[in-house]
């Protein structure tokens, strides 16, 4: 498996060809392209579905890319979820969907040796990209010890357990471990693998699990930070007051240039720049602030850039991977608007959506 980034991003029209329930709250969707054009992705990446009104939902394919462009998704249903409601109404209600992507860098990296263990951690429907990674690794003859830890509250939520048990019987280097609440997948993995200096870890699920797993495995088990690959799942679009959930103290005035024209916005202090851009319909963004898609990249004036909080390691790594990025670029989802930024000027890049 290669490690080349799958960029630039693209989009193509798809339709939902199949819909079946894997669990009472999880459905499998099989999407097929409606034209000759279809997306190519790497296992572990995710895509974004654009609904008829422009809203987007992000999901990771649960199987390697196929020749016909089919995409398999595992979607958790929520009582009041808009997309969940469309799914409950059946195939006819879903109609045609624009699929954007791929995004994310939680993709396979070649282990340093055939003896190095590969640890796969998943909670809930976070199993989808982990399953895709596992299937691709086994299909390509990976001989490394592969350990999959899948966590849920109840055993019946492990809807793909029989498939993993079958794979365990077929491949001597693969081991499947069920983890039920209140135990956590990272705790079980740490107990069974106290020394992870040579290991690779892939994790997908709730943000709390991702953060806890990174802290535990790097701090206690000797895992190298660079060998921890993860995508956290979020369930909804950030609200207009994302960040602190309280009433803003004041409005921040901003001006911008973009490939389609110039404009100005007044955005509540305490919100992110992306939040304001999305509310105004200027940018959509994709990953919900997870610093994994790069679709909200903006370029700032030097004086405004100097006022921002220091860039994080994850944001810096993603920006370096984006074509055409320079030293004054930041992700709008990581820019929290404060009074000192009143009057900020920025440019929306051609690659942003």
Average pLDDT across the chain, whole number: 86
Out of 2.40.30.10, 3.30.70.100, 3.40.190.10, 2.102.10.10, the CATH code matching 10-102 is 2.40.30.10
pLDDT band at 213 (very low <50, low <70, confident <90, very high): very high
CATH pick for 251-348 out of 3.10.20.30, 3.30.465.10, 3.60.21.10, 3.40.50.261 = 3.10.20.30
Q: What is the pLDDT of residues 137-164, one digit of tens each?
A: 999 999 999 999 999 999 999 999 999 9
pLDDT digits (tens, 9 = 90+) for 80-120: 888 999 999 999 888 889 998 887 778 999 999 999 999 99
Residue 57, number of CB atoms within 10 A of its CB? 20
Q: What is the pLDDT of residue 242?
A: 35
Residue 20 in this model has a pLDDT that exceeds 80 = yes
Same fold, 10-102 and 251-348: no
CA distances 206 to 52, 249, 254, 258, 280, Å, are 27, 31, 33, 34, 29
User: What end-to-end distance do the CA atoms of the chain give, in Å?
Assistant: 29
What was the pLDDT predicted at 244?
A: 36
> Is a pLDDT exceeding 90 seen at residue 75?
yes
Task: Report whether pLDDT(24) > 70.
Answer: yes
- pLDDT for 2 beyond 90: no
What pLDDT sits at residue 352?
65
Look-up of token digits 């790497």: 42
Contact assessment for residue 298 and residue 324, using Cβ atoms and an 8 Å cutoff: no
pLDDT score, position 6 = 39
Every domain of the chain and the residues it spans: 10-102, 118-232, 251-348
pLDDT at 243: 36
Confidence band for 237, pLDDT divided at 50, 70 and 90: very low
Would the pLDDT of 215 be above 90?
yes
Confidence of residue 351 (pLDDT cuts 50, 70, 90): low
Range 39-68 average pLDDT: 87
Does 155 or 350 have the greater pLDDT score? 155
Stronger pLDDT, 249 or 142, i.e. the higher one: 142
Which of left, alpha, beta for 251 (phi over 0: left; psi -120 to 50: alpha)?
A: beta
Structure tokens belonging to residue 45? 């990446």
* pLDDT-based confidence at residue 70 (cuts at 50, 70, 90): very high
- Asked if 218 and 309 touch (Cβ cutoff 8 Å), the reply is no
Cis peptide before 301 (omega within 30 of 0): no
Please confirm whether the linkage preceding 182 is cis (ω < 30° from 0). yes
Q: Give percent of the chain with pLDDT exceeding 70.
A: 90
- pLDDT at site 350: 65
Least confident of 116-120, 334-338, 349-353: 349-353
Give the whole-angstrom CA distance, residue 106 versus residue 339: 36
Q: What is the pLDDT of residues 257-315, one digit of tens each?
A: 888 777 778 788 888 899 888 877 788 777 767 777 888 899 999 999 999 989 988 88
Verdict on whether the full-model pTM lies above 0.85: no
Look up the CATH number of domain 118-232: 3.40.50.80
């Amino acid at each position: 498996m290669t490690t080349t980034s799958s960029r630039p991003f693209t989009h193509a029209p798809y339709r939902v060809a199949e819909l079946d329930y894997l669990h009472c709250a999880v459905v499998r969707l099989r999407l097929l392209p409606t034209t000759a054009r279809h997306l190519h992705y790497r296992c572990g990446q995710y895509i974004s579905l654009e609904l008829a009104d422009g809203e987007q939902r992000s999901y990771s394919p649960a199987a390697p890319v196929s020749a016909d462009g089919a995409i398999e998704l595992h979607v958790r249903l929520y009582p009041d979820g808009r997309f969940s409601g469309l799914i409950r109404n059946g195939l006819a209600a879903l109609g045609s969907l624009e699929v954007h992507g791929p995004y994310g860098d939680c993709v396979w990296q070649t282990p340093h040796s055939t003896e190095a263990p590969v640890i796969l951690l998943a909670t809930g429907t976070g199993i989808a990209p982990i399953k895709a990674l596992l299937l691709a690794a086994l299909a390509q003859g990976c001989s490394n010890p592969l350990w999959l830890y899948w966590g849920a509250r109840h055993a019946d939520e492990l809807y793909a357990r029989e498939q993993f048990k079958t794979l365990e019987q077929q491949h001597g280097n693969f081991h499947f471990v069920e983890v039920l609440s209140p135990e956590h997948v990272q705790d079980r993995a740490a107990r069974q693998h106290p020394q992870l200096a040579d290991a690779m870890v892939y994790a997908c699920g709730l943000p709390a699990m991702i953060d806890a797993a990174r802290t535990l495995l790097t701090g206690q088990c000797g895992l190298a930070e660079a060998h921890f690959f993860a995508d956290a799942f979020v369930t909804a679009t950030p609200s207009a007051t994302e960040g602190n959930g309280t009433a803003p103290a004041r409005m921040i005035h901003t001006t911008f240039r973009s490939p389609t024209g110039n404009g100005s916005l007044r955005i509540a202090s305490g919100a992110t720049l992306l939040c304001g851009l999305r509310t105004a319909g200027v940018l959509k963004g994709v990953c919900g602030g997870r610093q994994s898609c790069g679709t909200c990249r903006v370029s700032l004036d030097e004086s405004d850039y100097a006022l921002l909080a220091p860039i994080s390691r994850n944001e810096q790594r993603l920006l370096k991977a984006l074509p055409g990025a320079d030293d004054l670029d930041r992700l709008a989802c990581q820019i929290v608007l404060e009074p000192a930024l009143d009057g900020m000027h920025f440019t929306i890049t051609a690659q942003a959506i």
